[in-house]
Amino acid sequence: MAQVPQTFFDALAVRSWCGLALEALGRAREEIDAINVYPVADGDTGTNLYLTVESATAAVEAVFEGHQAGGDRRPTLADAVRAMAHGALIGARGNSGTILAQLLRGMAQELAGDEAPAHADGEGLRIALRHAADSARQAVAHPVEGTVLTVASAAADAAGRTEGDCGAVARAAHEGARAALAETPARLAVLKRAGVVDAGGRGLVAVLAALVETFTGEAPRGMPAVGGPWSGSVRTTGPVPHARVEEAGGLGECADGGAAPGAGPGGPAFEVIYLLEAGDAAVARLRNRLDALGDSLVVVGGDGLWNVHVHVDDAGAAVEAGVEAGRPYRIRITHFGAGDVHTTGAEPAAPGERAQRAVVAVVPGEGLAGLYAEAGATTVLARPGEPPASGELVQAVRRAHAREVVLLPNDADLRHTAAAAAEQVRAEGVRVALIPTRSAVQGIAALAVHEPERRFDEDVVSMTSAAGATRYAEVTVAERQSWTMAGICQAGDVLGLVDGDVAVIGQDLTATAEAVLDRMLAAGGELVTLVLGDGTPDSVAAHLETRVREGYLAVDTVVYHGGRQGALLLIGVE
């Protein structure tokens, strides 16, 4: 796809950069995975970087869509870079992904300040790259040279020596990063022994190449393959065995380089990652606690939200430390020896024989996750403002451990993400059917008619039909003034959306919900499903149940508690 060069760093440039970086990492992902030897040869650095940028890209796209829906022409540079940094933060995977998230956050801090310009010129980009590299180093407990941190610093140094527009600065940063990457085997013995460059640094070079293309319209030429003719580097013939990398003397190494204090001869057994809501003082204490427990400690973020990454032998202690500091969630624990990933609320992949069929569903709240799980589905939790990446859906399909899988995205915005996941697992030999459910209540209807004993095609047709026959609505609160199909709403108004469009604007939750329900039942129906969000009084459901009982004959009502699902109320009518 041809790219229109961007003269300045503005919101459109941020959008283009994210898209191009995602494409570049998609092309290089497998090769980067194959040279991943440090700090753990687990072959996932390319994948982790891809998933991190995928989350950043989705967040930027959501900002553009939100402004278009509100009647604005486009978001500001500050809007776009904040979204990019936040998306990367909540979607960061592994050590390299976490560091990349901090690099993007460092740029955002410079480009989205109180006096942020409408767009940044070459000097603004130089300053942003410098702050990015410095903030990433500060986020790492024990920085060492020969890693992605070295590559980031070299990029910032080269950019700082360059005069000119954003294109010239981006080219200089890319060339500086590429030269530093070629030197990583000379600076880190484990890379030299394996004959490879640093995988995280290689991924950053790809991201910076995308930045060059954003401003010039052309990708840098002469970019060698991952195992290509780097100075002093020869690629191994295949992925390095899945094992902890050790240096002479028997000490494990930190992901950021350097000996890890207290690490055993084989290094810690687990990688622990979680998002954390906590204050600065609590996070400072957490850093000290986790640094004593293990190695590879990286804590990034700020303003009350953090992404924590550490390698430990006692995974429970690392999580407990997070609980003491604040509220940890999206907890992921990987056992290096087994190569498996466990997510809270999810079952590990089943050993042995595969099941014949399974349902994998994205659900917006803990309550619905429990309901879907009771019905036999494998669930992926999507918290408000934190849509899952395609990699999370792929992992869920793998956990389901079935030959045939029905995938329920339960959100129109997840259609492309779910399609990408389905394509990936099909390549692994799993038969996947994607039912385009746009709401969790449509997923409930589909799951209700699911019969794993019948033929796959028949089951999919039946589930698709049930979902399609279910109208869906949600009641929520407007965050800002905007134009809607029902008129202009103000911040704080109660909105009733039917099939994705605003149909009712009101002031009272119960009255608005009743108006939405009446609109839906005007076309008929047999079953009403109500899903209450956190903070929605049970009296709302009681009022609506009475309304259905007294005003609509032969219509049943079921009520569920969805938990922290974003919307105050979800409504389904079958």
Residue 477 buriedness (CB in 10 A; 0-12 / 13-18 / 19+): middle
Mean predicted lDDT score pLDDT of the chain: 83
- The CA distance from 490 to 493, in Å, is 6
Mean pLDDT lowest among 182-186, 500-504, 563-567: 563-567
The count of C-alpha atoms lying within 13 angstroms of the C-alpha of 32, restricted to the half-sphere facing its C-beta, is 27
DSSP calls for 473-494: EEEEE-SS-EEETTEEE-TT-E
Residue for token digits 């950069």? Answer: 17
Check whether 562 has a pLDDT greater than 80.
Answer: yes
CA 571/CA 533 separation, integer angstroms: 11
* Complete DSSP assignment for 16-46: HHHHHHHHHHHHHHHHHHHT--SSB--S-HH
Cα–Cα distance measured from residue 136 to residue 252, given in angstroms and rounded to the nearest whole number:
22
Return the SS3 of 219.
coil
pLDDT digits (tens, 9 = 90+) for 489-529: 999 999 999 998 999 999 999 999 999 999 999 988 999 99
pLDDT confidence of 6, banded at 50, 70, 90? low
Question: Are 201 and 188 in contact, with CB atoms under 8 Å apart?
Answer: no
Quick one: average pLDDT of 131-146?
A: 91
- SS3 annotation, 76-88: CHHHHHHHHHHHH
Looking at per-residue pLDDT, the higher value among 119 and 525 belongs to 525
Q: What is the DSSP letter of 413?
A: G
Tell whether the torsion through CA atoms of 254, 256, 259 and 260 is positive or negative: negative
| pLDDT at residue 204 tops 50 | yes
- Name the packing angle between helices 11-34 and 199-216 (round to 10°): 150
Q: What is the pTM of this model?
A: 0.61
pLDDT at 40 over 70: no
